[in-house]
Structure 1
């Protein structure tokens, strides 16, 4: 976890020096084996979330300019989202990479809470039908999908406004090179303060990938990963969060899998804000 964050923040800072704190080192504490540390600059922050247009400009610039060193999706070190280690093995296929990533977080949530009616079946259907339908077209028909540097855990708790510069600065990163839209899956969650205003400002600077008509369903799909992580980490919220996950999976399965899911007319937007 400490090594992954060290390399994540170092990578962001090498690209955008004012957008992440300087990290100085990580390692194991000599006096308490098995306990690790990370040393970075102290951040004196204003207690408010950044302006939507300003944050959207910085995040979209990171996505535009943060090129994968291998030309593939992944990262050169394991990184953690919370306590869950992400499978960052390099892969040229985004659909395959995201399916592997989502499965790790599904398995982590199942290990903590066990099954609920319909969840296992819905996830199996999602993997077989909805994920390929939504993600394979991104790299089909001659389309090239750029692996972009993403923060990986970008919500209002991991970004602040510097007292010194009065500009946004991010921390607690779990980076990878991913489809840039993946970053915004976190912003769909109801407990995140980056509402539709932030998303709209971002899309003005970096429009949806083709096919554009799949944008909202891709965003819903990406949000499922972040909701699985929330459920696995925040036990008191798991019942509500898992209901959102199941509703989202059933919604996508109805649209993209034969004889599966729930009708799109059913209200399943409880984790999306206007």
Structure 2
């Protein structure tokens, strides 16, 4: 955290550059160590004063702060503020506001109330902000019963406004945008969703021919085989609202009453089973099987139930690939995991013709995930 003295001259943004206070009053000098732009204050009723503002945890792509404000009637309120910079920062911030607003509309007892989003009056590059209710939470592992019962209810009760799969604005997992344009057909939607992040991975982390070959066969043959079965023989699946980046780091528990809240969402409407596929990743503590088992006790697998495990593996590929895109070389082990899972599904449902299969990973080629990224070690 910056010292109070340095905070009077600059504040950090996600590019590592600084935002300098202007001489025309666009930056507010408030107590503690964080500078607040006048456009943030403009989101509150007239007469509101900022009592204090201090930086909290800074992620790789955003900066966050806690704001204490005094409303004109003398009452005080606390808010969470998140900043991100540049054109991509705008997409991240707008997407999070829309995600949290959609979640709050459906499950107001499960997410902090979003307040607003906007752009700083000054900043180079442009800086964007998201405001929401601040809740004092413990970041211990969430209670499985509480988390999974609330999550299952969200999936049951939510209804896509278009009746389709997708979302009305672009959302991001980490710094990576998701391909969430509306589609009537789940198979088509998921194929586009996965194709988008694998293409990004090949661009960001370098072309890998075996991955490209396995991806093409998976998308052409395996995805239709597994997902079309969900709507065969008169079956159907509903688009459910997903958080879509739900690991233990995006949950918190109120110390006062034990309620679990979720935040930092990257939402879209999808097959509900996709949500818990993110819990398959061994690098998160929420991979503990108690969470998936508890969720399934509230929301049983879709038919055909015998293929739930294969669908779970397929959906997890998406999360592992987007992890690889976000963390680049530090995500090599997870990229390899995605490749191995794709290859497993191809071998099971659409094997390569003899002589056309790319090489499998050799044991000597398998990378280890860095301790920094393996949250089970924390």
**TM bracket (short chain):** over 0.9
Higher relative contact order (CA 8 A, sep 6+): 1
> Are positions 1:252 and 2:345 aligned together?
yes
* Counterpart for residue 120 of structure 1: 212
Task: Give SS of 1:187's match.
Answer: helix
The SS at the match of 1:169 is: strand
1:25 to 116, 119, 125: 116
Q: Can you give the 5+ residue segments of structure 1 that lack an aligned partner in the other structure?
A: none
The Cα of 1:14 is off from its aligned counterpart by 1.3
Q: Distance in 2 between matches of 1:237 and 1:186?
A: 18
* 1:186 and 1:192 in contact (8 A); partners too: no
Q: Answer 1 or 2: which has greater helix percent.
A: 1
For 2:180 and 2:142, the matched residues in 1 are separated by: 29
Which residue of the other structure, out of 161, 177, 185, is the alignment partner of 2:269?
Answer: 177
Match of 1:196 in 2: 289
Question: 2:150 maps to what in 1?
Answer: 58
Gaps of at least 5 residues in structure 2 are 1-91, 370-375
Deviation (angstroms), 1:89: 1.4
> Once the 2 structures are TM-superposed, how far is the Cα of residue 225 of structure 1 from its aligned partner?
0.5
Match of 2:3 in 1: none
Match for residue 207 of structure 1 among 300, 315, 318: 300
Q: Could you tell me whether the CA contact under 8 Å between 2:274 and 2:312 is conserved in 1? A: yes
- Number of residues of Structure 1 aligned to a counterpart in Structure 2: 267
What's the secondary structure of 2:207's corresponding residue? coil
Q: Residue 178 of structure 2 corresponds to which residue in structure 1?
A: 86
TM-score, length basis structure 2: 0.68
Q: Once superposed, what is the RMSD of the aligned Cα atoms?
A: 2.0
Larger Rg computed on CA atoms: 2
> Could you tell me the TM-score, scaled by structure 1's length?
0.92
1:8 paired residue number: 99
* Greater strand fraction, Structure 1 or Structure 2: 2
CA drift of 1:117 comes to 4.4
Local SS of the residue matching 2:285: coil
**More displaced 10-residue stretch of structure 1: 140-149 or 237-246:** 237-246
